[in-house]
Structure 1
Amino acid sequence: MDSPLATVALPAALAIIMFGLGLSLTVADFARVARHPRVVTIALACQLLILPVVAFGLVLLFDLPPLLAVGMMVLAASPGGTTANLFSHLYRGDVALNITLTAVNSVIAVVTLPVIANLALGYFEPSTTGTMGLEFTKVLQVFAIVLVPVVIGMLVRANRVDFARRMDRPVRIASALVLALVIVGTIAAERENVGSYLADVGAVTILFCLVSLAVGYWIPKLLGADKRQAIACSMEIGIHNSALAIAISISVLSSVDIAVPAAVYGIVMFPAAAVVGWLISRGRGTVPAKALPVQHETEKASKKH
């Protein structure tokens, strides 16, 4: 697919989003896994193992066409988005845990996204697209899409903490706008089929979103996580990086059709997360509403000097 959306707009849009993610990360976010291995392991197991199984079951239940079925699996394999941090803060979750999960899962996705996409392509066998495979060039492409902008953002933050702090809000706003444009652009590219796509994947994406949010909350909570950690896991697992799923679908798999579930999910996940967040944050066990968002160790250190 050689349209400007695939060759220019999408890579640039995703670079902005992933660079913004990098600006919010430090090495401490990865090191924090060693201090809280249990909750991180539970959340990653939900994200990497349970969600693909849930998505596969829903695809079979709704009998989706092959391309849309592959799109659902790519969506399920995509990591959490940076917006999960905002929702977690709004509903009194453990934002530090969100940041750690986003950091770790974004790295793991370099491997898991190609694997799950390849398995889905092999199983559903859509006739209008090639296989993603695990060829070196394809893995490099995913690596460049996912990690290179993040690493650049982390390097900027490590060397220019004050600049990264000032840019955090503008980049987050820009990322949200870019995400909206990516979704609108994807739907516009298939505008003649929007009605049928919504009929095909509207219900399944809403159900998948609700199940993701529920799995992210209840499984960690039942396995011993406190309420703030469970809320963080729910937002992280329920709010996917749909822009990444769209970029992989269009730029790597060369199919707008495969991108449709992620585009629809990008619309439905925010109101769904808002309702679920309000429900699960009610009652006891959450921090006061005036609590401040988490600060990185580097920021705390900078204030001492």
Structure 2
Amino acid sequence: MITDILLLVALAVIMFAMGLSLRPADFALVFTRPKAMALGLLAQMVLLPLVAWIVVLVVPMPTDFAIGLLILAACPGGITSNLLTHLAGGATALAVSLTAITSVFGALSVPFVVNLALVHVGGQGGAVDLPVARMTLGVFVVATLPLILAMSLNHRWPEESARVEKLARHVATILFAFIVAGAFASQWRTMMTHAGDVLPPALAINVGAMALAWLVGRLGRLERREKLAVVLETGLQNGALGIFIAATLLGSPAMMVPSIVYALVMNVTALAVIVWARVFCGKEKGGVSPAFSRK
């Protein structure tokens, strides 16, 4: 079992590494590309949780797994979302901005969705029973604060931060893999026993949310690279944060199982999107302007 301290430190390092790649200018896309940003935030912060709610209400499953899926759906974009968006030929700057905004505001949005899940799915009535303050503080200290600190360092010392960021991102990716692998090992028996309860709904949420994200981008007349960024940002969640909330803040190993499964599923579907984008859409015209393509 991953200890609470190691999980806390690993997640903080992951978020710090993500922050080293972000700049205040990344938030400017809210004003320079408002439609793309608005649709991206709609897909990730509204449609994904909505799809998750529909799935857990329709598909019979143990309560802990249902809450775990809602926890994962409430989390911001993952550490690899920007890299995979780049590999797919998507608008990397848009992906970075979406990750930044959802991660910063995650201290408020994540506890809100999770506590709704505890009340309406877990049946925990009464504000006293819900760890709202503890969850908000925990997410802020472990996830949002390291992100803001790293962004501040990047703004103050950009050249030094750029050199450290490459190593930090590799370390963060390795730590994320260890978190998922450690959680997977600790919950192996539970996952094998309840694979049929978790895998289908996790896949349905992932594919359904990405399909809706693509539809929203299409209806909103976003450029192809923007649509790819929105789709991948919507599908790739911060599984490490989901595991931390379930195992450490809520003290429920069973609730972290969906985050483990989703972390495996989302990388498979993301790879499919990358292959599809490269093979079938590689020659499609309509890219974004150089200013919108972060290098």
Question: TM-score, normalised on structure 2?
Answer: 0.91
Number of the residue aligned with 1:214:
211
Number of the residue aligned with 1:50:
47
Number of the residue aligned with 1:134:
132
Q: Is the 8 A contact 2:43 2:230 kept in 1?
A: no
Deviation at 1:156, TM superposition (A): 2.1
- Which of these residues, 243, 247, 252, is aligned with residue 249 of structure 2? 252
Q: Is structure 2 residue 74 aligned with structure 1 residue 77?
A: yes
Distance 2:37 2:293 in 1: 19
Q: Is the 8 A contact 2:19 2:148 kept in 1?
A: yes
Distance 1:122 1:204 in 2: 21
Q: Is the 8 A contact 1:228 1:285 kept in 2?
A: no
Query: What amino acid is the match of 2:285?
Result: G
Distance 1:142 1:6 in 2: 17
SS of the equivalent of 1:200 reads: helix
Deviation at 1:125, TM superposition (A): 2.1
Number of the residue aligned with 2:229:
232
Distance 1:174 1:286 in 2: 35
Q: Is the 8 A contact 2:213 2:231 kept in 1?
A: yes
Deviation at 1:104, TM superposition (A): 0.7
Number of the residue aligned with 1:302:
none
Q: Which moved more, 1:89-98 or 1:186-195?
A: 186-195
Cα deviation code 1:140-174 (max 9, x no counterpart): 12211221110121122122222221222222221
Distance 1:242 1:131 in 2: 25
Question: TM-score, normalised on structure 1?
Answer: 0.88
Q: Is the 8 A contact 2:29 2:37 kept in 1?
A: no
Query: What amino acid is the match of 2:62?
Result: P
Q: Is the 8 A contact 2:92 2:294 kept in 1?
A: yes
Deviation at 1:122, TM superposition (A): 0.7
Deviation at 1:270, TM superposition (A): 0.9
Distance 2:16 2:130 in 1: 25
Which 4+ runs in 1 deviate beyond 3 A? 130-133
SS of the equivalent of 1:179 reads: helix
- Which of these residues, 113, 122, 125, is aligned with residue 122 of structure 2? 125
Deviation at 1:198, TM superposition (A): 2.0
Aligned residue pair count: 286
Deviation at 1:191, TM superposition (A): 2.6
- Which of these residues, 193, 198, 201, is aligned with residue 201 of structure 1? 198
Distance 2:203 2:135 in 1: 30
Query: What amino acid is the match of 2:182?
Result: G
Number of the residue aligned with 2:294:
294
SS of the equivalent of 2:258 reads: helix
Distance 1:279 1:19 in 2: 32
Q: Percent identity?
A: 30
Distance 1:132 1:168 in 2: 37
Deviation at 1:200, TM superposition (A): 1.4
- Structure 2 runs not aligned, ≥5 long: none
Query: What amino acid is the match of 2:218?
Result: K
Change (3 A) 1:113 1:262: same
- Which of these residues, 34, 44, 48, is aligned with residue 31 of structure 2? 34
Q: Which moved more, 1:153-162 or 1:99-108?
A: 153-162
Q: Which moved more, 1:21-30 or 1:153-162?
A: 153-162
Distance 1:66 1:106 in 2: 27
